Structure 1
Amino acid sequence: MKGMKIAAVAFACAMICAPGASGRGVKAPMVTGDPGIYAEVIAMLEREAAGQLTRHLQKSGKLRQVRVDIRLDLSARSMTINFGPGYLPGPEGSYDELFLQPMASSLRFFAERSGLEVNDIHFLFEGKTLEDYYPEDLAVPMRSARKSAPTSALVSSSHGYISLHPGREWEFQRPAPLGLQEDVLSPVYGDELQVLMEQRSGLVVHRARSQSTELHPESNLPWEHMSSRYHLKALFPERADIWNEFPNSTKPAREKDEDIRARPNYANHLGVDVLISLHSNGHDSATIRGTEVYYHRAKAQDKPLADSIICSMRELIRAQPGYETFPVRETSNPGDHGENRIGKMPSVIVETAYHSNPDDVAALQDPVFRSAAMKGVEKGYRLWASEKACVPLAGKAIADVEVHSGKRMEVDIPLVGNPQYPIQIITTNTQCPPGWTCGKGKQVVNSPDEPTRIGVSCGAGSSGTLGWETHVLDADGVASKPVPFSVRCVPG
């Protein structure tokens, strides 16, 4: 994005009245102000996308330039990227999702930095979707019936070692530009999530990768560092359809493609009620960061689950000291990941943070962040499963009260949200008449079945007004903002 005038285009969104315009041969949109700013942003996004594609093709030994057209529909908060002749990813390589999804993240980031709000990104290839070219392979399988009371889940912590052909060298699937290896990190997050889903959601949790510290006999590497493909091969040697979908491929990294499919194949084999895939994200640009959750665009029924998880992650992460402004997207994102598409059950991908951004790398290695992020995933799932809305914890107005001197009164502390019990109701004094002794109080509520109340009292012979503020702190560190109220002590 060389030469991009962020300051100049930051207000472009406010000037646009038309729903969108084509990137090539841009027609002047209906705008107030300078329409050239809108066209400039699109042109820069096109250059960025074309540059990324050229570098990607060069890595695979192809030297060519492919035209890229971009269209924005601001009313739908969507971007359509159309590749010209010369680029059509296929089944081998998992339709280039490990390239296209990071491209989508970066273009969304640059568009939003320019003031254009974008959530949904579509890819076209000479005007057609990949589903148009590969209708059978990219068809979404029939969804399993949703149980009224889910009992099981598969937690897939990616990625792990794969073997390259023909030399059979072993390598991790993901780069580690700042020294943090996703293939080793994600299982630690999976361990935390598994315990939470077992204890708080009451689920039987399966794992896609081995948790054994013994050596994998073929590679002589720890089993816990191997990808799901080899774990499933060991479990089901006769079920090559689960872990060996491309036996005749000549692609060196074909086992990476098989691994992507093996995880949802295993979920389908188990018949679990939900598939949650854990990743850390990565990008060539170190400026892109934050937490994202994806569902498959053809499985829009999974969006409520993804939205509930991203909402709960935002609440839990930002409740922790030092993470109050950590970037977490406001909504989930549609995508075309194979993990989400192949799973017959509700399936989402959680991109916890970017291992290519130094601030995110520090967070990913912090147990406080890890615990909050995984508590958010579990809570988001649990709210979705119980058909509850994700509502941030907040206190409601507390009625002012009048108490006779020498008496005590119970005061209701109404709240909204879904706190983790036990909760503490913490009250501090804000106004104390001269000569009075005014302290603070803490009331513990152990379950949602107990009333959220505190007791207030006035000393014998007292007459005056006290000011108080009350907030709620739950077991996960989520706090509501203080709500003021007053107590007027009157002669009794």
Structure 2
Amino acid sequence: MSIGVRLVRNRWRTAGQGGGALHERRVSHHMEKSIMKGLKLATAVVACSLFLASPVLASRAEASRAAEDPGTYAELLALLEREIGAQLTRHLQEEGRLRQVTVSVAVDPQKRRMVVDFGPGYLPGDEQNYGELFLIPLAADLRHYSNQAGLEILDVEFLFQGKQIEAHFPEDRPMPRATKSRSAHTQALVSSSHGYIALHPSRAWEFQRPAPLGLQEDVLSPTYGDELQDLLEQRSGLVVHRARSRSKDPHPESGHPWEQMSSRYHLKALFPERADIWNELPNSPSSDREVKEDIRARPNYANHLGVDVMLSLHTNGNAAPGVRGAEVYHHRTKPEDKALGDSILCGMREVIHAQPGYESFPVRAESVAEGHGENRIGTMPSVIVETAYHSNPEDVAALQDPVFRSAAMKGVEKGYRLWATGKACETLALDPLADVQIPVRSSRFVPVAFKGNPQYPLVLELSVASCVGGNCTPSDEEFMDPGQPVQLELLCNGDGVGTVRWRTRLRDADGVVTEYQEFNQSCVLT
């Protein structure tokens, strides 16, 4: 989602801010051979595939056995340390700094946690956006390939001489806003992706994100923002602000439509006197200075507005085309935002999986702690939603499908709303229904209990599994009001006795359905 930048003949390659790197990762032929010879396949796959190639993955059982071998495990960590160090050296050289930095890696498999500690010589500060353009893609790769090798890693934390980055720059951490009741929320900022940016010194205009399969995130994500804005206004009752313009008029300086420009330029036009919002690095020599300013501009705008929540929408990318699915990120220093991220993922999973063809679309189980500037700078609850991967063919097809777009954004809004109202996200499910006997020529109302948080109107479907002794008619009953009890009216209109076995389920306005429940209705003589 965010951008990592590497200039090559005045063009840049980018890395997913919430996910895997799309820039080139190279490892020497000698290193590749030493990895394959020095480790069992189950652990070598982590180091080898992380920085280069198409690995032949071992089974998880083999990987687990290898991880339990202390010698193999130690060698794996040593290889990771050397390779991460080599990647960092190349990164620093590209920035014009020549230095070697020691790296140590430790893993706690039970906590699914990896800690990478950089020695003296690498301490990215404010002007480097605290290293997020390099570190976040690196963390994504470490998670992905470790998990494929059977080392279930969720949390990758980077330390600098044994301390978190915040400990080195305590004055740069924004003060959190006074706690406000979630039920009192009134405003949200929806920030949709990146957009055109100017490079220095050429002032050449470039999209911030790559399009390896022809899908341009900078243009696509705002359409997801439109969908989410409507849902937040209609269902959550929020006033929604946008970080990017949706105007099709030309931007005067670039000539591109305003809707394709990054937030930085939109906010410059809105607040020309507030350079502190959109021009925080005026003296930076970096060619990608305005990229870094764009990252800061979005949460700066959220802070200026005083919104109650900031939701950033992106697509993700990874050099490995098999990586796919929806993910959400919160900032490591704001662990209270994890509950919001988890609820959004739960909502997305429920609604996306209810759509035909998307029943098994990958949605991460829980929000991941990372170091994104968007989440760090925003003083309100802030999360980054990576809807899918623009580097994966299946995800690219989904991202262009209006059905998927609608379902994904309904899930985001629902997850936010449940979190804001203090409700747990749980699977929609019908409670079992008891068999019932009804005298002939009479009727009875039967209450229907369920778990979950359906979107109204809610339809109770009643179909016939079997029918003996009468005329059994299926029906659907719609319930418009959440305060209205959901119930069945069961009739025995004739004089004869008989039994019908009903199949019933609930279906909500977003297409979410329960499993069927079956019960018997018998019409009896009194």
With normalisation by structure 2, the TM-score equals: 0.84
2:522 maps to 1:488: yes
Which range moves more in the overlay, 142-151 or 193-202? Answer: 142-151
Amino acid at match of 2:395: D
Change (3 A) 1:491 1:190: same
In structure 1, what is the equivalent of residue 486 of structure 2? 452
Change (3 A) 1:191 1:403: same
1:382-401 equivalences in 2 (<5 Å): 382-401=417-436
2:347 maps to 1:296: no
| Alpha carbons 1:392, 1:417 under 8 Å: kept | yes
Offset of 1:185 from its aligned partner?
0.9
| Alpha carbons 1:92, 1:251 under 8 Å: kept | no
2:218 maps to 1:183: yes
Q: Deviations over 1:218-256 (max 9, x none)?
A: 111111111111111111111111111111111111011
Amino acid at match of 2:191: S
RMSD: 2.3
User: What secondary structure is seen at the aligned counterpart in 1 of 2:311?
Assistant: strand
In structure 2, what is the equivalent of residue 6 of structure 1? 57
User: What secondary structure is seen at the aligned counterpart in 2 of 1:425?
Assistant: strand
Which range moves more in the overlay, 107-116 or 267-276? Answer: 107-116
In structure 2, what is the equivalent of residue 441 of structure 1? 475
Amino acid at match of 1:88: L
In structure 2, what is the equivalent of residue 229 of structure 1? 264
2:184 maps to 1:149: yes
Taking the aligned partners of 1:43 and 1:472, their CA distance within structure 2 comes to 55
Amino acid at match of 1:6: L
| Alpha carbons 2:447, 2:488 under 8 Å: kept | yes
User: What secondary structure is seen at the aligned counterpart in 2 of 1:320?
Assistant: coil
Amino acid at match of 2:384: I
2:357 maps to 1:338: no
Unaligned runs of 5+ in 1: 17-28
| Alpha carbons 1:9, 1:41 under 8 Å: kept | no
**The one of 117, 123, 135 aligned to 1:82:** 117
Offset of 1:65 from its aligned partner?
6.4
| Alpha carbons 1:289, 1:327 under 8 Å: kept | yes
**Identity, % of aligned pairs?**
59
2:310 maps to 1:275: yes
Taking the aligned partners of 1:372 and 1:94, their CA distance within structure 2 comes to 33
Offset of 1:467 from its aligned partner?
1.7
Offset of 1:489 from its aligned partner?
2.7
Offset of 1:186 from its aligned partner?
1.1
| Alpha carbons 2:346, 2:415 under 8 Å: kept | yes
User: What secondary structure is seen at the aligned counterpart in 2 of 1:307?
Assistant: helix
1:239-278 equivalences in 2 (<5 Å): 239-278=274-313
2:335 maps to 1:287: no
Offset of 1:367 from its aligned partner?
0.6
In structure 2, what is the equivalent of residue 208 of structure 1? 243
In structure 2, what is the equivalent of residue 309 of structure 1? 344
Change (3 A) 1:462 1:6: farther
Change (3 A) 1:144 1:225: farther
In structure 1, what is the equivalent of residue 444 of structure 2? 409
Offset of 1:468 from its aligned partner?
1.8
| Alpha carbons 2:311, 2:383 under 8 Å: kept | yes
**The one of 395, 402, 420 aligned to 1:367:** 402
Change (3 A) 1:140 1:5: farther
Taking the aligned partners of 1:347 and 1:253, their CA distance within structure 2 comes to 24
Q: Deviations over 1:302-356 (max 9, x none)?
A: 1221111111011111111111111101111111111111111111111111111
Taking the aligned partners of 2:409 and 2:516, their CA distance within structure 1 comes to 27
Offset of 1:479 from its aligned partner?
0.7
Change (3 A) 1:159 1:399: same
2:164 maps to 1:129: yes
User: What secondary structure is seen at the aligned counterpart in 1 of 2:170?
Assistant: coil
In structure 2, what is the equivalent of residue 24 of structure 1? none
Taking the aligned partners of 1:290 and 1:55, their CA distance within structure 2 comes to 30
In structure 2, what is the equivalent of residue 110 of structure 1? 145
User: What secondary structure is seen at the aligned counterpart in 2 of 1:180?
Assistant: coil
Change (3 A) 1:66 1:464: farther
| Alpha carbons 2:470, 2:497 under 8 Å: kept | no
Change (3 A) 1:460 1:43: farther
Amino acid at match of 1:102: P
Offset of 1:110 from its aligned partner?
1.9
Taking the aligned partners of 2:515 and 2:94, their CA distance within structure 1 comes to 52
Which range moves more in the overlay, 263-272 or 66-75? Answer: 66-75
Taking the aligned partners of 2:318 and 2:99, their CA distance within structure 1 comes to 22
| Alpha carbons 2:176, 2:380 under 8 Å: kept | no
Taking the aligned partners of 2:189 and 2:423, their CA distance within structure 1 comes to 22
Offset of 1:38 from its aligned partner?
4.6
Taking the aligned partners of 1:412 and 1:43, their CA distance within structure 2 comes to 63
Q: Deviations over 1:452-474 (max 9, x none)?
A: 11122235343343222211100
In structure 1, what is the equivalent of residue 454 of structure 2? 419
Amino acid at match of 1:341: R
Higher helix share: 2
Which range moves more in the overlay, 76-85 or 339-348? Answer: 76-85
Unaligned runs of 5+ in 2: 1-44, 50-54
Taking the aligned partners of 1:314 and 1:36, their CA distance within structure 2 comes to 40
Taking the aligned partners of 2:270 and 2:157, their CA distance within structure 1 comes to 37
